[in-house]
A and B are shown apart, each in its own frame.
Chain A
Amino acid sequence: MSILTRIASERARQVSATLAKQTSINAPGMINLASGTPDFPTPPHIR
């Protein structure tokens, strides 16, 4: 059996099964309920 027939480890498969796909990221004017990014701007002195 080729090594290419089973790429992901059992551990990676188990973790993958619990992880929802990233569906979107924040965009201007949109509050993304799933991203976890605050919708206030990073303060200027930090940027």
Chain B
Amino acid sequence: MNAPASARADGKTVYTAWAGLPALREAIAEQLLRDKGVSFDPAHEIIVTAGAQAAMLTVTLALFDPGDEVLVPTPFYDEYRRDIMLADATMVPVPTLLEDNFEINPDVLEQAITPRTRAMILISPSNPTGATMGRSTLERIAAMAQRHDLLVIWDELYDRFVYDGFEHLSLAALPGMRERTVVINGFSKCYSMTGWRVGYVAAPREISDALLPIAHGMTICAPSVSQYAALAAITGPHDWFAAILSEYDRRRQLWMQALDSMGLPYGRPRVRTILCPTSAVPALPRSSSPGHYAKRAT
């Protein structure tokens, strides 16, 4: 019997700790330390949420006040706009460019900072562009965040979908960043369990203490059976994922070959199969392009 079936059979269908099953938080902490080199206390610094989506709204409601400005590189995952809106804060779009593979330019990011800027939301690897950030960019962003005393919301939901030998690094692992970084991640994409709705936030205790009442207000806790499924996912075998990644890489190559053959510009993605032609494509009217972004969501 698999983990969620066992949980149901054993009657583990009641509330868990508000922050999530202790065993799941410990497994998340172990994974963060092992894979990202960043240490969070599972007892006080990790909150399991009903999907990463709930984590995002929890963070914006808990940390932003009306008038706070939040930098968001564009193109962006649209839910962040709504989450910032719900917090009555102000989203400040910061453009990224096709010719830069949509990678964030720290100089452009810094130019958008005002005295009201409280945080930046960075998705790496990016949804929807597939852009990534190398160590030098991360170091410049880290220095900027510390120089301007900003929080960083660090969404790394697609951290395992990387290609071309790219090594995903966590901003939270850089010197001086753990205390000002809020890590958001989840189980939906890497384990194909979107319907289970399990995500998490990892953040220093002072921040986590602010997050928990909001997370509680939304769902009290993440669904208990789903948490057992997530626990099975994170503690179980991961060797199956190599075949998945290989198939997505094959599709990515096909997309790029097709776009190349049509002479269409795109940002070369180093993560999952996301491509992003621009609206400047003359033979591809926006009305006929798939939502402006040729996006293959995994």
Report A's interface with B, CB cutoff 8 A: 11, 14-15, 18-19, 31-47
Contact = CB atoms under 8 A, between A and B. Distances in A.
Contacts of A41: 192
Given A15-B82, A33-B291, A38-B192, 5 more contacts: A11-B85, A34-B291, A43-B192, A46-B193, A46-B236
A44 to B, nearest CB: 7
A42 B232 contact: no
Contacts of B86: 11, 15
A34 B297 contact: yes
B3 interface: yes
B192 A42 contact: yes
A36 B297 contact: yes
Contacts of A44: 2
A33 B297 contact: yes
A28 B125 CA distance: 28
B6 to A, nearest CB: 11
Interface residues of B, number: 29
A43 B82 contact: no
B276 to A, nearest CB: 13
Contact of B229 (A34, A35, A40, A46): A46
18 contacts: A15-B86, A18-B82, A19-B82, A31-B296, A32-B297, A34-B295, A36-B194, A37-B188, A40-B247, A42-B191, A44-B2, A45-B2, A45-B232, A45-B233, A45-B236, A45-B237, A46-B4, A46-B232
B189 interface: yes
B3 A37 contact: no
A22 to B, nearest CB: 13
Interface in B77-116: 78, 81-82, 85-86
A39 B237 CA distance: 19
Interface string B258-298: 00000000000000000000000000000000110001111
Given A33-B297, A38-B192, A40-B192, A46 B82 contact: no
A19 B79 CA distance: 9
A4 to B, nearest CB: 24
Interface in B147-206: 188-189, 191-195
A44 B2 CA distance: 8
Given A45-B232, A45-B236, A15 B192 contact: no
A33 B192 contact: no
Contacts of A19: 78, 82
